[in-house]
Amino acid sequence: MPAHSHLLLEALFRILELVHEALLSGNLITKRFDIVWCLISQMIMHNTLEDQADFVAHRNIYYQNIELFKSQSMVDNMVDNLALTLGVGRGDLNIVATAKGLIAGSVDLKMRNGSITRCGLSRDNGMLLPSINSVEAIDLHSAKWLLVIEKEATFRTLAASRFHSTCKTGHGVLITAKGFPDLATRRFLHVLHSVRPQLEFFGLVDFDPHGISILRTYTKGSRRLEHEQGITVPRMRWLGIRSGDVLPYTPNVDSTTETFQDSQSSDSQASQTISSQESASYSFAGGQYFCLEQSCEFDNEGRPPKRARVHEPDSSDSSGSIILLTSSDRRRAVNLMKELRNTLETTDGSDADQMYELQRMMMLNIKAEIQAVDAFGDVTGWLDERLCTHFSA
Partner 1 sequence: MSKQYLTVHTVDQAHPTEIFSLAPTPTAVFSASGSSALRIHSTTEPTFPVQQILEAAHKLGCHHVCTARGGLGVVAVSVGFGGEIKIWRKGGEDDTAAKEWALSYEIPPTKSSGGDVWAVALSADESYLACTTSDGRSHVWDLVARERIQTYETGGNGGNGGSFAMAVDLSRDGKLTATGHESGAVYVFNNDAGRMVYSLSGLVKPVRAVAFSPGCKRLAAAGNAGIIAIYDMQHGEHVSNLSASSNRPAWITSIDWNDTGEYLLSGSLDGKVKVWDVARGVCVATHSETEGALWSVRWLPKSERALAPGMGKGEMFCAAGAAKSLTFYREATGI
Contact residues for partner 1 (CB under 8 A)? 247-249, 253, 255, 257-258, 260, 262-263, 265, 267, 269-270, 272-278, 281, 287-294, 299, 309, 311, 313-314, 317, 324, 327, 330-331, 334, 337-338, 341, 352, 355-356, 359-360, 362-363, 365
Tell me the pairing of strands 35-38 and 116-118: unpaired
Residue tagged active-site, from 63, 249, 282, 289:
63
Task: Give least dist CB 341 to partner 1, A.
Answer: 6
62 catalytic, yes or no? no
C-alpha–C-alpha distance, residues 314 and 322, integer Å: 8
Shortest distance in whole angstroms from residue 313 CB to partner 1:
7
Rg of the chain, C-alpha, whole Å: 27
What's the distance, Cα to Cα, between the start and end of the chain in Å? 57
Cα 157–chain centre separation: 15
Q: Of the two residues 121 and 363, which places its CB atom closer to partner 1 in the complex? A: 363
Kindly state the smallest distance separating residue 275's Cβ from partner 1, in Å.
4
Q: How far is the CB of 97 from partner 1 (least distance, A)?
A: 35
Cβ nearer to partner 1, comparing 24 with 352:
352
Count the Cβ atoms, other than its own, within 10 Å of residue 2.
5
CA dihedral 321, 324, 328, 330 (to 10 degrees): 110
Smallest gap from Cβ 373 to partner 1, in A, equals 17
2/313 with CB nearer partner 1: 313
The residue among 33 and 282 lying less far from partner 1, judged by its C-beta, is 282
For partner 1, the closer of residues 194 and 335 by Cβ is 335
Q: Whole-angstrom Cα distance, residue 127 to residue 363?
A: 40
Residue partners of 108: CB distance under 8 A and separation at least 6: 116, 117, 118, 119, 120, 138, 139, 141
DSSP element (H, E) containing 368: strand 366-368
Among residues 244 and 381, whose Cβ is nearest to partner 1?
Answer: 244
> Which of 249/376 has CB closer to partner 1?
249
Omega of the bond prior to 241 within 30 degrees of 0, cis? yes
| Cα torsion through 214, 215, 217, 223, rounded to 10 | -80
Q: How far is the CB of 216 from partner 1 (least distance, A)?
A: 16
Q: How far is the CB of 250 from partner 1 (least distance, A)?
A: 9
d(CA 336, CA 331): 9
Vertex 147: Cα angle to 33 and 242 (nearest 5) = 105
Dist CA 101 CA 39 (whole Å): 21
Question: Smallest distance, Å, CB 241 to partner 1?
Answer: 17
Closer to partner 1 at the Cβ: 46 or 341?
A: 341
List of E strands, 52-156: 102-105, 108-111, 116-118, 127-128, 135-139, 145-149
What is the longest distance spanned by two Cα atoms in the chain?
A: 89
Rounded Cα distance, 337 and 353, in Å? 11
Residues annotated as catalytic are 63
